[in-house]
Amino acid sequence: MADFILEVENIKKYYGPVKAVDGVSFKVKQGSIFTLLGPNGAGKTTTIEIIEGLRIPDDGRIIFMGEEITRVGNKQKEYIGVSLQETNLIPYLTVRETLDMFRTIFPRSLDVDEVLRIVSLEDKANTYIKNLSGGQKQRLVIGLAMINDPLILFLDEPTTGLDPQARRNTWNLLLDLKRKGKTIILTTHYMEEAEFLSDWVCIMDRGKIIKEGDPQSLIRDLEKESLIEVELEADSVMIESLSNAGLEPVYDKKHKRLLLKTNDILATIELLLRFSKESSLQIKDVLIRQPNLEDVFLSLTGRSLREE
């Protein structure tokens, strides 16, 4: 099998004047975790639904396991697993009954006990869905996507609404599936999730992919060792002064957050203090840290993902 299990070329989906997906292209390596990262409305879910065969693209093509197709059909669906939203689960069925019901959909499927073991729900096999925690329901959703032993798992926002511990447990499950050779394509708006899990990240905004690469390469492209995050109400004079000093400031106006990339922390702070004094602006807080994917998105768009 080719290194790339899935290739997407120039996919487009328009709804009148709205360009939900506007010429998206990417490749997914077999046995990797591939992430579409972006705010709500970026086009992530529509892109995934086109690949899954749930929506018909207006243009573009898909190469699946080396075969060119216009959309995923029944032949390809045997090799993919798709996560469902929790609300689609029947509350008065048990975990085992739910898995048994979904097994009947596919010509081939894993044994229910094997799926329970994979998602660590053996002790919840006879528990009603309505009595599961949020994290347990999410593991069941992933188990349902695994029932036909797919080569590719599509997971749309798999940890939305989970508490930190349940989210971490889900991350560990996905990494374990990757170690077993599964290819995972997920969408998320959690930067730390994409950074922790992904072998490759495509950052989407307004229907387009604006940057892609492995997480550490994307972060290194910022070309600065440290970031200084400052809480203050900056004005245009201060921003211009910082720009003229070569600091490339990015200001998140909604959260009153100024981001400065630097290789010289002390010199940058000295400049910051001087410019804030000249502008009579009060600095409320200063944080020095290493850059992350949130900073990549902010640098590319001038917006924080958290304001979406």
State the span(s) of the chain assigned CATH 3.30.70: 226-290
Give the pLDDT of the chain (308 residues) as one tens digit per residue.
458 999 999 999 999 999 999 999 999 999 999 999 988 889 999 999 999 888 999 999 999 988 888 766 677 778 899 986 555 889 999 999 999 999 998 888 999 999 999 999 999 999 999 999 999 999 999 999 999 999 999 998 889 888 899 899 999 999 999 999 999 999 988 889 999 999 999 999 999 999 999 999 998 887 766 888 888 887 777 788 888 887 778 888 877 888 888 888 888 888 888 888 887 778 888 888 888 888 888 888 877 665 44
Q: Which CATH number fits the domain 4-221, given the four candidates 3.30.470.20, 3.20.20.80, 3.40.50.300, 3.30.70.20?
A: 3.40.50.300
Question: CATH says 226-290 is which class?
Answer: alpha beta
Indicate whether this model's pTM tops 0.75.
yes
SS3 letters across the chain = CCCEEEEEEEEEEEECCEEEEEEEEEEEECCCEEEEECCCCCCHHHHHHHHHCCCCCCEEEEEECCEEECCCCHHHHCCEEECCCHHHCCCCCEHHHHHHHHHCCCCCCCCHHHHHHHCCCHHHCCCEHHHCCHHHHHHHHHHHHHCCCCCEEEEECCCCCCCHHHHHHHHHHHHHHHHCCCEEEEEECCHHHHHHHCCEEEEEECCEEEEEECHHHHHHCCCCCEEEEEECCCCHHHHHHHHHCCCCCEEECCCCEEEEEECCHHHHHHHHHHHHHHCCCCCCEEEEECCCHHHHHHHHHCCCHHHC
State the span(s) of the chain assigned CATH 3.40.50.300: 4-221
Residue 16, pLDDT score: 94
Residue 201, pLDDT score: 97
Residue 19, pLDDT score: 96
Residue 1, pLDDT score: 45
Residue 271, pLDDT score: 85
Residue 86, pLDDT score: 58
